[in-house]
Chain A
Amino acid sequence: MAEFLFEIGLEEIPARMIAGAQAELQRRVVSMLRLQNLLSSQDEKLTVSFSTPRRLAVLVPNVFDKQSDSFTKVQGPAVKIAFKDGQPTPAAEAFARKNGVSVAELKVESTPKGEYLVAETEQKGRGAAEVIAAELPKELAGIYWAKNMYWRAGKPERFVRPVRWMVALLGDAVVPLAFAGKTAANVTYGHRVLFGDAEIPVTAPGAYEKALADAFVVVDVEARRHRIRKALDRVCRAGDTAGIGLRWREDHGLVDKLTHLTEWASGLDASAKSSVVIGEFEAAYLELPEEVLVTVMRDHQSYFAVEDKAGKLAPYFLAVLNMEADEAGLGVIRHGNARVLRARFNDARFFWEFDQRVPLVERVKLLESVTFQKDLGSYAKKAERVRRVAVALAKLVSSRGGAVDGTALDEAVLLAKADLTSELVKEFTELQGVVGGLYARAQGFGAATAAAIYDQYLPESMEDSVPRTVEGALLAISDKADTIAGMFGLGLEPTGSKDPFALRRAANGIVKILAESAVALPLSLGDVVDAATKDEAVRVRVEVFFAERLEFYLREAKGQAYDVVKAVLAVGANDVRDAVARAEAVTAVRGGEDFAAVSAAFKRMKNIQAQAGEKGFASSGSVDAALLTEPTEKALAERSAELAGSVKALRAEKKYVAALEAIATLRPQVDAFFDAVMVMASDAEVRGNRLALLERVLGDFSGIADFAEIVTAG
């Protein structure tokens, strides 16, 4: 057995694609080796992979030297078809040819169906190097890239970027596999600048990581990430000359991006060179909104923002380099980066000041010439529709005891999209809404108006927060619902993986706001649908779409089991908070033995009802006590009637766990009933009465969830 190393060297891979490609390469190499019987399932788990912007690599321990020989037996045509008058027919010849043997080598085997020809062939196991050289190139060609390219004349292959070299080593022997016009060898390359162009021989797979570490490349992604974080910590501390408790703003996305934009990272130790540099900007820029400054730093410059110990933005930035330098060298790099940031901030300030010349109120009419969607008209038209939705929803909220600032909501709806015409949003599109909110505040609108505009695009993901105020929530919901209803009306609903207008995200947002709003928002999904469209056909489709999104929310955001979600939604998918509460209650009690038994019994009741339906047996509609003959059915009827009242009361108070626990106490009566009573009695009156009893029990106790959907063991 030998270790196997494969590295493919590329021109800089897009940072966003590296992690996925690294995982896919590892998966492909391992499954190929497993399929080829060259790797055990234990050793599969010991495989590791690496990546930097210029390489992907995988290291597999204990690859077998060769495949074991194998023996195959293939059954062919029946003997009576294969031979005519003792002579082989074309069927026999074709079978022999297909299996690479002569007719004489075919054997006859008796089976219960008669005598058949069989071909027995033996495959000599191939050596690992031979198999890898033949199979690995196909795997490489199959790697998925979000965007790839041709580079060689004649367009023989596409890949994310041109392939520059490959290393393939089985033990200390090169596997000369060929791909994209390159043949693998045992030579890799180090950091472009810090190490230069010199060839680096890799003597054995185990020597790979160290050989590259010596050439200023940390191939282990997590190690690089760790080093970057530690260097950020140290440089930030060291840069805190004013002693204001400087710390960098945590930003996992940015750490990830920079980990995939760098091959080397140093700076953990003050005495050595550093790959992280802290720079300063003029405090005067802090007059610009923090959101703008952070966006410029994070999205446009890939710099970390820095804050003081109170969490207030401090006039510093942290840049992560694909480089390292001593303090003098860092001075040059710091100076360059600070110069760029200054220019960027100047631009932002210019846009901010320029935008103030035309207040939001005047920008509203400019929206008439900004198209929202060609068939749905301009943003001005959209604002009118959103206003209708928001007004209808606000009325409902007020009528149900919620507090809505009608004026603020009105203003927010009117001004919501006005920032789309601002220079600042044209430059920093990710700040739409935020800029509108900031401008509204700067232009003298109230805090509630500004906050609603500011929060209108929330939540942008399942992890994001929801609007802080009722007005913000109503604007966000109305805006999203209008988009969904409009697109559904045009037949542009999402299909499969295609959701070009991000309607699923919009609907997820509505569900999340209804579920998580910290301010009272007594609205159901049905209310939202009704407010958003008057078109019955659209209404029905949007309702189904919302129910799917609620299901998604319960499962993905709340981690509820599939069957619990189904059981809960079978009873109602309209009131989001209630569905969440019911699901959580079911999950809380479902482990109990009594509950499981009652669930199983409910399932049985439903089955009996279904059978009765098939046979045309009808329930009598109401339970006639006089017709209850068996003691166990009397007991069930009495006990369930007693319980029904208290369960109903608990449900009304939304004490779902208590209600479910009460239902579970019905177990003895239910069990006894099924042990002793035959529902499908031959007497039609008795049968009808018993069916009515089941109907009543199911009706009284299925208001929280349809227990028949709960999967129970056994």
Chain B
Amino acid sequence: MVAIAEKKKVLMFQEMLFILQRFWADRGCVLQQSYDVEVGAGTMSPDTFLRVLGPKPVRIAYAQPSRRPADGRYGENPNRLFRHTQLQVILKPPPERVQEWYLESLEAIGIDLKEHDIKFEEDNWEWPVGGAWGVGWQVMLDGLEITQFTYFQQCGGMDLDPISGEITYGLERIAGFLQDVDSIYDIVWAVEPDTGRKVTYGEMRLAEEEQFSAYSFDYADVGKLWEHLNSYEAECLGLLAQAKGFDEMDTLKLKRFPVLGAYELALKCSHMFNLLDARGAISVTERVGVMARIRTLVVGVAKAYAAQGQMLQGLAVQA
């Protein structure tokens, strides 16, 4: 086992991320920073969810921490995390050789494809709450799912044209594979250059996993979570109601109308829902109803965002 791991220089977690970011920057992607509202997946960041809407070409990449309270295991399970990190790459429209580019990116982080078994297995992605879905694959590397590769078809219940290619790397999994460790917490995140001391993933994140698992499963105040959910929802609905009046707005007001603010409120609701779910506070019957409420917000925001963009485009042409 050791012999295999030592055959080549193994990348640290952060080096792997540097290289992947560099790789996509070299292919025209703008590197964005992580979004600062809780999301369950990189797709929910406005840099994906909203930018895939409309005709404007986009190439963007960012590492996004994704919170899934129900997946927390108090830091005890070596393969599951409350919060993991995805590298999200959006290519609108997808270039012809997008699959080949992706494979080259694996080579760039030291995965010699000639030494491994790689398969693209059908896996269609869907986020019903966002009215979003796409077709694609899970990419399997020696039996390990390392990437979700999706051709985004619909978002906010609207057909996309052009569509986007979306590549979501599971960074912890890939690092665990490269470093050949059995626990995520043993991944080497960085090495101090002067001392050679290894800084592990556990050192950086274990406390977070322990405490947020406890918070999500044991401490979170169910009554308060419902209050937060209701209040974020109310404010979001208020903004969406005002968004119905785009027609009467002048350019400046239209441009400044906070659809992006409404989206953050919708994301907050989604996170509250996830916390309530982890806390076991949502019965199966309620679940469907609450998801429908959040869907109204998320899809409403997407429609408002598309309408705002379209109207501003129209006004720009007139001017």
Contact = CB atoms under 8 A, between A and B. Distances in A.
A40 interface: no
A371 B284 contact: yes
Interface residues of A, number: 52
A150 interface: yes
Given A53-B120, A343-B79, A370-B284, A197 B100 contact: yes
B119 interface: yes
Contact of B120 (A11, A152, A302): A11
Contacts of B100: 197
A343 B81 CA distance: 14
Contacts of B235: none
A350 B153 contact: no
Kindly list the 8 A-B residue pairs having the minimum CB-CB distance in the complex, ordered from nearest: A336-B142, A14-B122, A12-B120, A153-B162, A321-B117, A337-B143, A369-B283, A323-B117
B154 to A, nearest CB: 10
Interface string A451-484: 0000000000000000000000000000000000
Contact of A333 (B79, B116, B122, B161): B116
A369 B103 contact: no
Given A12-B120, A369-B284, 11 more contacts: A12-B122, A151-B93, A161-B135, A193-B118, A197-B100, A322-B118, A332-B142, A336-B177, A339-B182, A340-B142, A343-B182
A322 B120 CA distance: 10
Interface in B272-319: 283-285, 288
Nearest to B114: A193
B237 to A, nearest CB: 25
Contacts of B116: 323, 332-333, 336
Contacts of B4: 331-332, 335
B293 to A, nearest CB: 17
B241 interface: no
A149 B283 CA distance: 35
A150 B153 contact: yes
Interface in A141-199: 147-155, 161-162, 164, 192-194, 197
A336 B118 contact: no
A329 interface: yes
B143 A336 contact: yes
Given A149-B151, A339-B180, A374 B285 contact: yes
A192 B121 contact: no
Interface string B111-145: 00111111111101000000000110100011110
A665 interface: no
B117 A346 contact: no
Contacts of B252: none
A690 B135 CA distance: 73
Contacts of B161: 150, 153-155
Contacts of A369: 283-285
Contact of A325 (B77, B115, B121): B115
Nearest to A261: B119
Contact of A371 (B99, B151, B285): B285
A147 B137 CA distance: 13
A329 B115 contact: yes
Interface string A329-365: 1011101110111110011001000000000000000
Nearest to B77: A350
Nearest to B144: A340
A197 B96 CA distance: 14
Given A322-B119, A335-B4, A336-B177, A193 B113 contact: yes
B78 interface: yes
A124 interface: no
Contacts of B119: 12, 261-262, 322
Chain A CB within 10 Å — which of B122, B144, B153 has the most? B122
A107 interface: no
A301 interface: yes
A419 to B, nearest CB: 15
A226 interface: no
A333 B117 contact: yes
A580 interface: no
Interface string A310-332: 00000000010111010001011
B46 interface: no
Contacts, number: 114
Contacts of A337: 117, 142-143
Contacts of A16: 122
Contacts of A193: 113-114, 118
Nearest to A13: B122
Contacts of B187: none
Interface in B227-286: 283-285
Chain A CB within 10 Å — which of B116, B117, B122, B163 has the most? B117
Contacts of B96: 162, 164
A56 B196 CA distance: 53
B157 interface: no
B122 to A, nearest CB: 3
B54 interface: no
A11 B99 contact: yes
A21 interface: no
A392 interface: no
A587 to B, nearest CB: 43
Contacts of B137: 12
B170 interface: no
Nearest to B152: A149
B202 interface: no
Interface string B68-98: 0000000001111000000000000110100
Nearest to B142: A336
B120 A347 contact: no
B121 A261 contact: yes
Given A335-B1, A346-B79, A147 B135 contact: yes
A15 interface: yes
A374 B287 CA distance: 12
Contacts of B120: 11-12, 53
Contacts of A14: 122
A251 B120 CA distance: 22
A636 B217 CA distance: 85
Chain A CB within 10 Å — which of B100, B119, B283 has the most? B119
Contacts of B288: 374
A151 B159 CA distance: 12
Nearest to A145: B135
Given A329-B115, A339-B180, A301 B122 contact: no
Nearest to B161: A155
Nearest to A155: B161
B276 to A, nearest CB: 14
Contacts of A147: 124, 135
Interface string A253-285: 000000001100000000000000000000000
Nearest to A147: B135
B16 to A, nearest CB: 17
Nearest to A303: B143
26 contacts: A11-B120, A12-B119, A15-B122, A53-B120, A147-B135, A148-B135, A149-B153, A151-B93, A151-B94, A161-B135, A193-B118, A301-B143, A322-B117, A323-B117, A323-B118, A332-B4, A332-B115, A333-B142, A336-B144, A340-B142, A340-B144, A346-B78, A369-B284, A369-B285, A371-B284, A374-B288
